[in-house]
Structure 1
């Protein structure tokens, strides 16, 4: 890895999601035209190197701040396809190279400035501005101090063109902010507009009673009335973390009001519900809806804020980026991706040794190698247990990290009671995390509690029915069914697992043993033939048969009997 000082330009398309909602084909065509005819030629002519392309955004590296600022002004001054508007941020700072990729302070600050910029605006940091010659520096306005999210020092910010307000207040309030967008009138009757607006205004008024919450005034939120909105864009423009939106639909005297609370930073839904009523007394219904919505979302807001306050896994943005990259490789489940994920997780821990989420992921990555019969990396199981111990001793570990760590000490250190305690904490903190329920199921199986194990494994699939890792939940179901000698159910669970991930050896092993106990010789032969498509030799089968889940005393003899009958083992 190499460290160097460079200038980074971060740019994105304003309101991209809303544009896609309005006209997907037209937006994609306009974006391609802009990219090929304007963006790429301009960065090339200014000696820029495109580092990352994210669909609606780009990261570009320049040799100097002057070239970056000249390119940014050329981009903003260019003739763009209809609907295409840019925000641009520029910062000069340190980056670390990793192959063709770069990450570090320069990217982080540039991205924060880009997020603060108005449409058609360029924001440039003091570090970059100080590097410009007098004539170039003079085209920028400002120098006002800003406190950027997750950036420890204050940065003076300059803007182009002159005269556009620099919105530096987005992150200035310590209170969480919420905007209530005008509820849509879905009735097709313009006369009902007043009812939808009244609902919105009453909710704003009631939310304003909570002193810990900053509520955007009615006049500001109503500027979005009738517009197709990108929630992330609303959050940036109004400086809020949360957005409440909804609709009102009337049919005769019946009214249905729907609402949803959204995290404006991540776009995730925190709460959604609908309320039905009758217009016997419109004001009574309006009051009831307001009370129901406010009563419902206030705990959701408090819970989200509590999680936000606690979920500061690391102050090191570089460590966080390394962790996210590790997660992206982890989900691909290949030997090469697993090794890359281990490397990235270790780099994250080098940056922040107390980063519990990275340590938990590292522990599960080593388990992943074990259960997929891959060659150990580093010290294999010993490395997994060491990473797990770091998590369980940390006061910064969230429920997901605790579950990963608990799984490692359950499977490898055989410390089942301690793992169970950690799983209880993880389930308490993350009751709706499918992976936590799945891993807790395996721990309960090893504790000789198959009924409870089955409940958690089944709930895991219910929580995330399209999860790319749901094969593990079906495997956990198969283990529990086998334990209870419900072999047909075990077969069905394993076939579900194999439909998601055909190469997972454990699924094949449970399926074959279950079919053997059912006495279905034809199905056993077909299952064995299927397994041998994915396994080159007997060593992997023998190694898989020795995994901790197959050594559990209540089931070990029956596993082996089934495999011997099927001809897998002798």
Structure 2
């Protein structure tokens, strides 16, 4: 089901332009008020619509009793008839409102709006009995709902439906079933002297607690404290929802996977830097399949674009006759056209404009808009920081990278974030700081070509190899050479580097031409020196 002029769900087709409902091709008389109800229920995509919201939709600018709504819902149910499984098509959510039953319906099940998971954020409970703290708890709840709503890979139940459970929420699985969601986020607020303790937990439909944590804050400015707590909760909850959905997709038989499943599996593979060609083929395969199954899925387009870039840069596994860079650019443009207000799409598109078009102004505009739309997205901040670093703004890049570490202190890819901070110091000529940060990333388990090469350069330029600061040529013989056997020649060939970005599309070398390095790793070294790509290859490797 989608939000086009004609919505299809189960045996029904609803033309919102003509306000006509059909069941298996036969017209269903529902009247004007029934059609207005159906528009509101269809637009909610199976989520709860509160009674007050339905009253506003059917009787705008009028004051009517709720009994009128009950009568119109009954009339709509009678006209539509029971579903093939015997259920009413419109389900009552006790003391909250109504939702359209979409569970198990087959029509249009491939669209991302129908497939993406949904989370309900229940009102945080005030455990202190202080009325003022109750207002604070409500404010945190509203902020978390708003912040999570900025992510487009899952949906969030509207505030009205969530707050209908204030003071009377039952077990999380029951609430999840009633609201038609896969995840429920609950929280509590307690005051202890001058400290505020906020607890939160994420539960799935089966009652499994996916995540739980507690945050403590000194009582100071209410709004600043509210912002910090919201950022902490959202930064930790969003990855848990994605992880839970990835586990669900991984349990599916390949033939039953939908666009969202393929998207999640490809996304997970894209976070693993490797030189394994098979990994990149699998990643590209999943994301290309997601695009084929749902051409209206902008996040799949932009991740597929990145997958083709990664396969060309790191896997060196592009099949004969395939131009991964050209495919990546085409997918990037299509993503931007279909998701112009999606922060993730804008961030990845900004990186693509930087990589392939050498369009610094356009890239910076895209990433700045992305950060504005969703400043609490780890991935958005990471992509924006990459562009800022490579466009000569390392200080701004460090600020965003530190934001990533605050949002998700235990994220698996944090070693890359730490290394990126080291690179910012490297580009600014702070070589000792660069060595320190890159070694931290190495200690965290990172060992890919990029890191080893950057550590070689940083140690050589800082004098950490025992040969004196700035003695880059000594890297060929010094201990720094041990980090990567083919990297020391690149550092030895030049003195102190002058950073200048060279677009990847302009002559990225193959691993054979780059002396055994993957193309991306070779470019890490080669673009570090202000010479032409050809001269870099011949002089350095």
TM-score, scaled to structure 1: 0.51
- The runs of 5 or more residues in structure 1 that have no matched partner are 1-111, 114-124, 130-141, 155-170, 186-194, 278-288, 305-315
Counterpart position of 1:148: 101
Offset at 1:345?
Answer: 0.8
Counterpart position of 1:529: 482
Q: Contact 2:456 / 2:483 at 8 angstroms: preserved in 1?
A: no
User: Aligned equivalents of 1:151 and 1:407: distance in 2?
Assistant: 39
User: Aligned equivalents of 2:213 and 2:384: distance in 1?
Assistant: 25
Counterpart position of 2:292: 350
Counterpart position of 1:454: 398
Summarize the alignment of residues 62-81 of structure 1 with structure 2, pairs less than 5 Å apart: none
User: Aligned equivalents of 1:271 and 1:396: distance in 2?
Assistant: 36
Is 1:216 equivalent to 2:164 in the alignment? yes
Query: Of residues 380, 395, 401 in structure 1, which corresponds to 2:324?
Result: 380
Offset at 1:489?
Answer: 1.4
Is 1:326 equivalent to 2:300 in the alignment? no
Q: Secondary structure at the match of 1:540?
A: coil
Counterpart position of 1:471: 415
Query: Of residues 541, 545, 554 in structure 1, which corresponds to 2:517?
Result: 541
Change in CA separation of 1:556 and 1:470 when aligned onto 2, cut-off 3 Å: farther
Counterpart position of 2:62: none
Q: Contact 2:449 / 2:521 at 8 angstroms: preserved in 1?
A: no
User: Aligned equivalents of 1:357 and 1:562: distance in 2?
Assistant: 36
Q: Secondary structure at the match of 1:465?
A: coil
User: Aligned equivalents of 1:182 and 1:461: distance in 2?
Assistant: 28
For residues 364-407 of structure 1, what are the alpha-carbon distances to aligned partners after superposition, in whole Å with 9 as ceiling and x for unaligned?
22232344353335422222211111122223652122212221
Change in CA separation of 1:367 and 1:233 when aligned onto 2, cut-off 3 Å: farther
Change in CA separation of 1:491 and 1:369 when aligned onto 2, cut-off 3 Å: farther
Q: Contact 2:125 / 2:167 at 8 angstroms: preserved in 1?
A: no
Offset at 1:326?
Answer: 1.5
Query: Of residues 361, 366, 369 in structure 2, which corresponds to 1:422?
Result: 366
Q: Contact 2:415 / 2:446 at 8 angstroms: preserved in 1?
A: no
Larger RCO (CA under 8 A, 6+ residues apart): 2
Change in CA separation of 1:380 and 1:181 when aligned onto 2, cut-off 3 Å: closer
User: Aligned equivalents of 1:423 and 1:184: distance in 2?
Assistant: 41
Counterpart position of 1:6: none
Offset at 1:456?
Answer: 2.7
Offset at 1:533?
Answer: 9.9
Change in CA separation of 1:492 and 1:179 when aligned onto 2, cut-off 3 Å: closer
Q: Contact 2:401 / 2:421 at 8 angstroms: preserved in 1?
A: yes
Q: Contact 1:357 / 1:397 at 8 angstroms: preserved in 2?
A: no
Q: Contact 1:356 / 1:397 at 8 angstroms: preserved in 2?
A: no
Counterpart position of 2:306: 364
User: Aligned equivalents of 1:397 and 1:269: distance in 2?
Assistant: 31
Offset at 1:491?
Answer: 1.5
Q: Secondary structure at the match of 2:421?
A: helix
Q: Contact 2:281 / 2:317 at 8 angstroms: preserved in 1?
A: no
- The runs of 5 or more residues in structure 2 that have no matched partner are 1-44, 47-81, 91-99, 108-113, 143-157, 238-255, 468-474, 489-510
Offset at 1:356?
Answer: 1.0
User: Aligned equivalents of 2:391 and 2:486: distance in 1?
Assistant: 34
Is 1:556 equivalent to 2:530 in the alignment? yes
Summarize the alignment of residues 290-329 of structure 1 with structure 2, pairs less than 5 Å apart: 318-329=258-269
Offset at 1:358?
Answer: 0.6
Q: Secondary structure at the match of 2:89?
A: strand
Offset at 1:184?
Answer: 5.4
Counterpart position of 2:497: none
Counterpart position of 2:243: none
Counterpart position of 1:511: 455
Change in CA separation of 1:504 and 1:456 when aligned onto 2, cut-off 3 Å: same
Count, aligned residues: 363
User: Aligned equivalents of 2:462 and 2:439: distance in 1?
Assistant: 15
**RMSD over aligned Cα, in angstroms?**
5.3
Flag the structure with higher strand content: 1
Counterpart position of 1:235: 176
Q: Contact 1:399 / 1:429 at 8 angstroms: preserved in 2?
A: yes
Q: Secondary structure at the match of 1:467?
A: coil
Structure 1 stretch displaced more, 555-564 or 527-536? 555-564
Is 1:569 equivalent to 2:540 in the alignment? yes
Change in CA separation of 1:464 and 1:238 when aligned onto 2, cut-off 3 Å: closer
Q: Secondary structure at the match of 1:517?
A: helix
